[in-house]
Chain A
Amino acid sequence: MSDVTQILLSVGRGESQAAEELFPLVYDELRRLAAARMAREAAGHTLQPTALVHEAWLQLVGSGDRNWNNRAHFFGAAADAMRRILIDNARRKAALKHGGGQERVALEHLEITAATPDEHVLLVDEALLWLEKEDPEKARIVALKFFGGLTNEEVAGNMNLGLRTVKRHWVVAKIKLFRWISERKP
């Protein structure tokens, strides 16, 4: 039994720690896949993140959506991995844009309206750190949807919530995050 399968089974049994163990595996797998893909394929071909995640899933457990529950948990972990990848990149690019060298970009210098997609991602990420303390459930929904690209149904399955609850939380969470961001930025 592979590590991943082992971990997924634990996740399935509700051992929350297991989800954290899954993350590095998923993260590595995603990076490895992306690199391999790009090295293999000629220019003109495209790379789609959801396709990538699906592929990572297949690589890790060997078969499609055999077990929905585990699949949902995998996507939860994938969302975290994607978030990390996106944030790391955005940081690097934004740092370059702002002269380079800095480890962290000072977000105060960003303007909401003029934010590039990278900066946009950084703003959401920072606001999300705040929301995680304030209202963890909503924050988790945002992480899954915004960074993981999960559908409402998948989020509902992942978090064991009703579909309507997910939709409601998502609407409110966006408003709260936006207000938090706009209160701090010019």
Chain B
Amino acid sequence: MSPEAQVEEALCVAALNVPDPLVRAQFLERACAGDARLRAAVEALLEAEGEAESFFARGRAVVNGPELDAQAAELLRQAAGMATDDFTDEQLGSRVGRYRLLQKIGEGGCGTVYLAEQAEPVRRQVALKVIKLGMDTKSVIARFEAERQALAMMDHPNIARVLDAGATETGRPFFVMELVRGTRITQYCNEQNFDTERRLKLFIKVCHAIQHAHQKSVIHRDIKPSNILVTLQDGEPVPKVIDFGIAKATEGRLTDTTLLTSVEQFVGTPAYMSPEQADNTGMDVDTRSDIYSLGVLLYELLTGRTPFDTKMLMQSGMDAMRRTLREQEPQLPSTMITSMRRTELTLTAGQRHAEPPKLISQLIGDLDWIVMKALDKDRNRRYETANGLAMDIQRFLDNEPVVARPPSQAYRLKKLVRRNKLTFIAGAAVAVALLIGLGLSTWLFLRERASNEREARLRAAAEDRAKITQAVMFVSQGKFEEADGVLNQVNNFPADPTLDCASAFRSVGEWLALQGRWPQASERYAALIKVDQLDNPSQIIFDYQACGVVLAASGDRPDYDRFWQQAVTNFDSMPNGSILLAGLLLPLDKAQIERLKPMAAATEKLIHAIPKNRQSEWTLMPIGLWQYRRGNDGAAVQWCQRAREQSLRFPPCDAVVDATLAMAYYHQGQTNEAGSELVQARQLVDAKFKSGLDRGRAGAGFWFDWVYARQLVREAGARINCDAARSESK
């Protein structure tokens, strides 16, 4: 192919990705840069595109196996020299496996659903879904069989069980399900003019069903209104989740709105697809993907629309669609309602038994944030479990404070940075893919084994997640003892923990520390700094400080040293007074002093860069203690006195300064000065602990600042009194 032709083709393909004719024209204008011949050639290709498309679409029967229709089948019959007959549907009255087809009850893009009768072992009516798309029936069934055990363990009033799977005589896969005669949940709520509260109550039941499945390590993967049917039992609406296990068996290619374009194969129902599903890496879908889809469902129940419009998603083309799902923040539900046209707004509100202003005010705030938390692009920030989501909604209904919160500025910024990292991750993924390709055969061999192990791992992880969610709930209700009990049972910390998870460990750890239960508190804190990678940096630094204090207070020096090692490794030569302080809490050996030098030097350097009027006692104090620890008593005294001169002073810091000075003076032989400093420090600390320690706050000092001060006062006291006692005894 000539280079010219290559350029023409490349431009043509690129232009086809731009659906808007105006934008496309602009693109060509710029790309061809006045080369009229090139422009004409590309235009000619583009012009033929539409007709070529429909020409081949007419042959799609042959083009795409999945869409093979009667005519293609006929051709093959001819090949076999046989007569033609109808191909499209299973015959009513005919048998499929053990089932007799009675009536067609539904038809979607993916398959046809029949009412069928099972004669053995019990006579009952079931729903039988025959999959239309041409798929490798054997592997569909094999995948179903793999999950069959897990599916069989599901037993929940809101789940319609999948009973059986097999192949029809024509080689299409079919699934047999508990028969549910119901209306899709969104439609039901609209028809009944359910108000927001009733919708939420119905939705909570759906969450419980999904939670049940997750605990049996079954992920639905295709949650959407048409898979959640509402039936009436004793006059009560009961939602039933159908199609469990089918999405996995058919590798997620099974949806009502399958999108089939010439360039791309199947895509799910894009509006309900989680960003990680849309990303199409396929490997990496877990229970939190279902949480996202539940979020979309909730969004639609509340506003009547999905966060992203299905039509727009489909029209924008595949790459743009992925990008939207991956990067674009959906509108808040309340904003979505507000932006509707008058007629739609009135209709939507009416279906929710409310006036528009009332509906909007219901959504603003808590419900907005609950939905957005479920819809977070980063699954680590979503609800940990479906139960967590349900409980937050329940709290909203009970007028209790909810867990979901609006994202902070710092978080938004961090996400921006993270988004740009994706480019690099994509590059790494390609490299990984290449490596996998090299070891393909080994991989195929290992895949089977890995998938079993993965199941077990997923199940254990799901259990741990459930426990953490429970702990989060207990914490929010102030039941710390219970939360502590549940956290104690967590076997493995989640590989990618959520903010909720971190805050549960923090709250419980803090609660234990305030009661002086140091060994237990240190366990929680040691876990916290392992799982806490998402919070804003200042929170993480506080956690390190608290952790150091708690470990020292529990009196376990090896544990403190391990923590010390981790803190110094993580922060290395970063200037950070707080981390430095945490590392100076106990006397250090020579190697540790050496190791801490870069951080201390950086911190000292930073102090010079801070304007004098922004410096505080806390800014200078760590260097004072650092100089003392390394044996520079003179410098220690100087820094401590400078710290004291600051106008911004804090009671616990005063005590730390006093205690440090006491030790430095004592070391220099100024026993009297040492004594009076020690008395001062001790008075401050004693008074605080007598009045009772509380969580505290920034400025006045946190509980761990005070425990820190007490630790140093004890050290100074031990040093000075002990020597005094010894000299007396002489």
A interface residue numbers (CB < 8 A to B) = 30-31, 34-35, 37-39, 41, 43-52, 54-55, 58, 64-65, 67-69, 85-86, 88-90, 92-93, 112, 115, 117-118, 120-121, 124, 134-135, 145-147, 149-153, 167-168, 170-172, 174-175, 177-179, 181-182
Contacts and interface: CB of A to CB of B under 8 A. Distances in A.
B349 to A, nearest CB: 44
Contacts of B78: 89, 92-93
Given A117-B61, A149-B64, A151-B265, A85 B79 contact: yes
Contacts of B12: 171-172, 175
Contact of A179 (B48, B64, B82): B48
A117 B76 CA distance: 13
Interface in B56-104: 56, 58-59, 61-66, 68, 71-73, 75-82, 85-88, 91, 94
B87 A46 contact: yes
Nearest to B88: A46
Contacts of B79: 30-31, 34, 85-86, 88-89
Contacts of B139: 64-65
A90 B75 contact: yes
Contacts of B87: 46-48
Interface residues of B, number: 57
B76 A151 contact: no
- 7 tightest A-B contacts by CB? A51-B171, A149-B65, A178-B52, A34-B80, A50-B65, A38-B82, A46-B170
A39 B444 CA distance: 38
Contacts of B1: 134-135
Given A55-B171, A151-B64, A172-B9, 8 more contacts: A35-B82, A44-B86, A48-B73, A51-B137, A134-B1, A151-B65, A171-B49, A182-B51
Contacts of B263: 152, 167, 170-171
A85 B73 CA distance: 12
Contacts of A55: 171
Contacts of A85: 75-76, 79
A85 to B, nearest CB: 4
A52 B76 contact: yes
Contacts of B31: none
A114 to B, nearest CB: 11
B170 A146 contact: no
B56 A146 contact: yes
Contacts, number: 169
B63 A149 contact: yes
B410 to A, nearest CB: 37
A34 B138 contact: no
A121 B87 CA distance: 20
Contact of A51 (B49, B56, B170, B441): B170
A178 B169 contact: no
Contacts of A124: 56, 59
B51 A178 contact: yes
A129 B44 CA distance: 22
Contact of B45 (A43, A90, A150, A172): A172
Interface in B8-49: 9, 12-13, 16, 44-45, 48-49
Contacts of B714: none
14 contacts: A46-B87, A47-B73, A86-B79, A88-B79, A89-B78, A117-B75, A120-B55, A120-B58, A134-B1, A146-B56, A171-B12, A172-B12, A175-B45, A181-B55
A51 B136 CA distance: 8
A146 B59 contact: yes
Contact of A178 (B55, B65, B85): B55
Contact of B53 (A52, A167, A174): A174
A94 B52 CA distance: 23
A168 B8 CA distance: 12
B43 to A, nearest CB: 12
B264 interface: yes
Contacts of B51: 178, 182
B142 interface: yes
Contacts of A121: 59, 62, 75
Candidate in B52, B172, B264, B265 with the most chain A CB atoms within 10 angstroms: B52
Interface string B202-230: 00000000000000000000000000000
B13 A48 contact: no
A33 B171 CA distance: 13
Contact of A174 (B56, B88, B137): B56
A146 B63 contact: yes
B346 interface: no
Contacts of B66: 50
A65 B136 CA distance: 10
Contacts of B77: 34, 38, 47
A174 B52 contact: yes
Contacts of A146: 56, 59, 62-63
B601 interface: no
